[in-house]
Every structure is written in C-alpha cells, then in structure tokens.
Amino acid sequence: MRSIVWFLLLAIVAVVGATALGANDGLITIYWLGWRADLSLNLFLITLVLVYLGVYSLVRGLDSLLGLPERAKRWRLGQRDRLAQAALREGLALYMAGRYTRAHKACQKAVAIQADTPELALDAEFTALAHLLSAGSLHRLQDRPRRDEHLQRAIELSQLTRKPRATEEGARLLGAECALEDRDAARALRDLAELPPGVARRTQALRLKLQAARLARQPVEALRTARLLAKHQGFTASAAEGLLRTLATETLDSARDADQLRNLWLHLDANDRRDPHVVAHGARRMARLGAPREARQWLAPIWDRLTQLQPDAIDAQARALSENLLGLEAEWLPRLDACNQLALRHPGLALALGLALAERQLWGKARGMLLSAANDLQLDLERRRTAWARLGQLAEQEHREEEAARFYRLAALPDRAE
C-alpha cells in the first residue's frame, strides 16, 4: 500500500514538472572574469535544487558526526536508567513474592546504579522509593537498625521532591506500621503526627492511629479515631458498632473516681450514651464508685423503652439495675410495673425486678419475681444463687425460719433446686 502511494506521488510530480517546465524557454547568462555561460532556466533551477540538497546533506552529515559523542552519552545514560528501573521493578516483584533478602539486594543495586550516574542522582523520588522498599524488606527480616536507616533516608530524600510528597507520606505510614509491630506506640503516634492533616484523615492512617491509641492505652483518642473510621466506612456496620461499644466501655473503665467517670460520660458521643450496653456498663462502673443515684439517672431513659430492646440489651440493663438499687426512688415503680410481662420471658429481668421491689419493701411482688428467677434454669448459677439468698432474707424478715433455711440451702446448692 505504501509503494502505491509513493508511485502516485512520483507520477504527480512528473506530471507537474512536465507541465511547468516543458514550455519554459528562458535562459540564464552568467558572466565571470570575461567568461560567459548560457544555461537554460530549467537546467539552472534543477542545478540549484541539487546544490541545495547537497549542501543540506553535507551540513546534516557534519552535525551528526559532531553530535555523535553526545548521542552516545545519552544512549549510555538511557541504558543505565533502564537498568536501574529494571532493578527496582525486580525488587518490588521479589518483595511481593516474599523473597525479602533478594528484594533488598535488588533495591540496593538500583540505588548503586543511580549513585554511579551523576545525571540520574538528581531523581530523588526514585532513590526514596528504593530505600522505602528496602526498609519494608528489612522489616520483614527483623533487621530493625538497618530498616530505620533506610526509612530515615527515604524521608530525607522525599522531602527534596515537589509537593504533594506521596513518597514521604508512604514512608511515615510504613514507619508507623513498623513501630506498631514493634509494640512502640509512642513512636507510631509521632510518625502519624508528622503527616499533613489531609493524609492523617485517610483510612489507612486512621487504622494505624486507632491501633496505636489502643496500644498506648488512650481509649478516648481511640474512640474518637474509631468514630472517624466508621464515618469514612472503614468498617462494616456491625463491626463498627461492636468496636465503638468496646472502646466506649474501655473509656469508662479508665475512670478512677466518680468525678472522672462523670466527665468521661459527658464527653462520649450522644450515640454512645444511647447504647444500652454502654449505659449499662457505665452504670455498673458508677455503682462501684459509690454513686448509684446518678447511675439510675443514666439508666432511666433506656428503661423507658425497655420493651424495644434486644434480649442481650435487656439482660445488660437488668444487671446494671441490680447493682444500683441502694436508695431506689419511688419514681421507678411505674417503670418496674411496666416490665412485669416482659420479665416472664427474661429471668434476668425478673431477678432485677424482684430485687428492686424488695428494696422498696414490696415483699409480696418481690417474692413472686424472685421465685420465678430462681426456678428458671436458663438463668446463670450466680444470679440464681442471688435470688435464693434474697428469698431467704425475706423469709427471715417474716420470721419463717424453716423456709429461710431452705432458701439458704438452695442458695448454697442451686444446681439441686427443682
């Protein structure tokens, strides 16, 4: 196809040349030192074109000859650049294949090739990437001193590049990850603090910060980070719910007195303060710190919608109320009455109601609830023992010594109760 095109172009040139020059009768006369030469215009034009082409070819030839050393230098530079790039790609492939020693050697080969070539030494990002890959390989080989050297070198070189410095960000994230695996939470947090604000909000950075905060026993910071991760969909909905609940309870457990617990509670997210499990844990913690009245204030909103909760949440609320009965107010009686039907299906709730009614000296209602809980084999051993013991105390108050003795005996051996 190309030959046909050239043939057509040649035919067109021939036709145009014959048409333009065939009827040209002009002459060119040249005078030189008494000599005279007459040339046809056509010959003069053809000669002029040939002379121009000859001069042009001569100039191009001389330029190519004089530029040969520069082209040879560029060729050698390109060869070394390709060798360095190939070594870095080989290092990456070996790293992904788990051959860390060879990966490190390949990366160092790339660095050596670049260092031996002054023109390539200006590519700081390439060298930083090679050091970063070497650091990752050495970390897998548990060579921490050399790993830290390569990481620091990668950070220093990446700072010479233009912003945004993705290589520096990668180096700091890798450093934080290595520090976490070394169980060095303080160093991981320092590396993460060096990240720009936008990078620090990325999912990977938040994951590392969450691990570092938990390792450093900073539950408040860990909870804040986990909430950001959940907002950015870093977890599934169920995993996020479980993690946030765990971190909220760890935050409350860090309190050493009632005032500190109260302050932590106020700083929790509104969603955490509405979680039945978190509320129950906080109330139990407050009871141990000697403030059952305030704990009941936390429990009250949850008990107002107790019928809407899942069985595990109902059981958690029942346990929490059972530990916060001292000085139970009369305003709780309507809440307790509203749960009578629900208590028939939840023995833990029946026990809590029985203990609460007994605290309010409603002996008859309390006795029925306690008997229901004590005879329910679905209830755990410890709480059944609590129910029998409380029944024994009620019987003693009513001077029924034989019945009290039987209840106490059942409390001692609840597994034999019928």
Q: How far, in whole angstroms, is CA 57 from its chain's centroid?
A: 64
Report the alpha-carbon distance of residue 138 to residue 145 in Å, rounded: 9
pLDDT digits (tens, 9 = 90+) for 217-227: 888 888 888 88
Residues 6+ apart with CB under 8 A from 356: 321, 322, 325, 328, 332, 336, 366
> Is 355 in contact with 393 (CB distance < 8 Å)?
no
Report the alpha-carbon distance of residue 334 to residue 205 in Å, rounded: 50
- Main-chain phi, psi angles of 32, to 5 degrees: -150, 105
Report the alpha-carbon distance of residue 265 to residue 251 in Å, rounded: 9
DSSP conformational letter for 138: H
pLDDT of 22 reads 63
pLDDT digits (tens, 9 = 90+) for 95-150: 999 999 999 999 999 988 888 877 776 788 888 899 999 999 999 999 999 999 99
In 3D space, the residue among 172, 197, 168, 170 whose CA is nearest the CA of residue 187 turns out to be 172
Report the alpha-carbon distance of residue 141 to residue 130 in Å, rounded: 17
- Main-chain phi, psi angles of 332, to 5 degrees: -80, -15
Report the alpha-carbon distance of residue 273 to residue 275 in Å, rounded: 6
Q: Copy the structure tokens of residue 166.
A: 């993705």
Maximum CA pair distance of the chain?
159
- C-alpha atoms less than 13 angstroms from C-alpha of 254 in its C-beta half-sphere: 18
pTM: 0.71
Altogether, the residues listed in the chain come to a count of: 418
pLDDT digits (tens, 9 = 90+) for 301-358: 999 898 899 999 999 999 999 989 888 888 998 988 888 888 889 999 999 999 998 8
Report the alpha-carbon distance of residue 418 to residue 403 in Å, rounded: 15
pLDDT of 24 reads 65
In 3D space, the residue among 287, 375, 277 whose CA is nearest the CA of residue 383 turns out to be 375
- The residues pairing with 35 across neighbouring beta strands, listed in sequence order, are 32
The residue type found at 316 is A
- Per the listing, tokens 């509320």 go with 279
pLDDT digits (tens, 9 = 90+) for 147-171: 999 999 988 888 887 776 788 888 8
The residue type found at 306 is L
Give the percent of the chain with pLDDT over 90. 22
Query: Counting beta carbons within 10 angstroms of the beta carbon of residue 96, is it exposed (0 to 12), middle (13 to 18) or buried (19 or more)?
Result: exposed
Q: 418 falls in which pLDDT band (50, 70, 90)?
A: very low
